[in-house]
Chains A and B, each alone.
Chain A
Amino acid sequence: MALSAQKGRLIAVIGDEDTCTGFLLGGIGEINKKRESNFLVVDKNTSVPDIEEAFRSFLKRDDIAIILIVQNVAEMIRHVIDSHVQPIPAVLEIPSKECPYDASKDSILRRAKGMFAAEDLR
């Protein structure tokens, strides 16, 4: 199938209010006919199971290609992110307003670095 003929997929975002406002301002927000949104605002009242559920529902949706998740929220559901190994949807950890991005915490980069074990280099 030609790339141009394909239907565009969405970018989902999980993060604090400002991150969501920014990315929605960037034009990625959508609420479909079933009233399902592609974003989740995480505040102090949002529980970890809620975040986990939203993340799993984004993984299941076939109209989502990339999931952006703020790194400090990603830390809360690290086990779920680590268990996702499929290339699509791609899960990207982004910096938040409060916490800068730390590459050593990133699931994919940790996985990629793991291929160079010390014994291989001997």
Chain B
Amino acid sequence: MTLGKKMAESENINFTKLCEKLDDVALEFFNTLSTLYEVQDKLEETMKDGFLNLSRSRYSMGIKSVSCLQWNENNMVATTKVCVDSDSSCTPFLLQENKTADGNALYVSPDTESTTLRYRKAASKSLPDDDSDKIEDLIPLKKMESSSKEMTKSLKSKDPLHWFGVLVPQTLRQSQRQFQDAVELTVTIANLRTKLLSLRKDYVGLKREKKALNKTIT
């Protein structure tokens, strides 16, 4: 076999590999695009529900009770932030959820709160034997709670829900939850878009490479 023939064969193999790579990138691009459309739809749904619950709470609290006039502009601190990893081309944005500047969780989950309270009440009364070890386990947790009582208080004051009053309707709480979900979804969308743009860059680069290789073959 001549040298020329061998070179032509290796070029053909390279060309086929490049075409396969190009196909993979194109498929990945369309997969990402369809995921992006799905997440966009989800965001639209979530925001729609959020707006509906906001209107419901406005209906029960009064028109002027849920507006920009209630925003606490003297002490407004973001409880949800985003970490940026500029090295990652696929997921550069990472949600730093419900955390204050100190890095402590702002919201205490209702389940944990209710369980602890139930145990506290039970500790003062006489209990069956099988519950005694549970209480022993809870003692350090109780101590921790009392030490961080003040901290929790200050954190809770940063909750935007309190701008609208102390006893806010359930619909406003639901609306808050839905908008928190919406924030999460926007971060997902931002990541998908960045991935889409990076795939586009790869595709354009590979296409240019293919054109150059095509010229050398012909």
Q: Point out residues on A near B: beta carbons under 8 Å.
A: 3-4, 6, 8-11, 17-31, 37-38, 41, 65-66, 68, 87-88, 90, 92, 94-95, 97, 100-101, 103, 108-109, 111-112, 115, 120
Contacts and interface: CB of A to CB of B under 8 A. Distances in A.
B36 to A, nearest CB: 8
Contacts of A10: 78, 81-82
A27 B78 contact: yes
B77 A30 contact: yes
A25 B189 contact: no
Given A25-B176, A115-B203, 20 more contacts: A8-B82, A8-B96, A10-B81, A18-B54, A24-B71, A25-B172, A25-B179, A26-B183, A27-B79, A28-B78, A30-B76, A38-B78, A66-B190, A90-B193, A92-B189, A92-B193, A101-B40, A101-B43, A101-B44, A103-B40
Contact of A25 (B37, B84, B161, B200): B161
Contacts of B78: 8, 10-11, 27-30, 38
Contacts of B98: 27
A26 B80 contact: yes
A108 to B, nearest CB: 5
Interface stretch (B6-14, B86-94, B124-132, B141-149): B86-94
A112 B96 CA distance: 28
17 contacts: A6-B83, A11-B78, A11-B186, A20-B68, A21-B66, A21-B68, A22-B51, A22-B179, A22-B182, A23-B182, A25-B175, A28-B78, A29-B76, A95-B48, A101-B44, A109-B36, A112-B33
Interface residues of B, number: 57
A92 B197 contact: no
Interface string B37-49: 1001001100110
A14 to B, nearest CB: 13
B80 A11 contact: yes
A41 B68 contact: yes
B73 interface: yes
B43 A94 contact: yes
A66 B192 CA distance: 13
Contacts of A94: 43, 47, 186
A51 B141 CA distance: 50
A97 B79 CA distance: 24
Contacts of B182: 22-23, 26
B213 interface: no
Contacts of A17: 67-68
B204 interface: yes
B152 interface: no
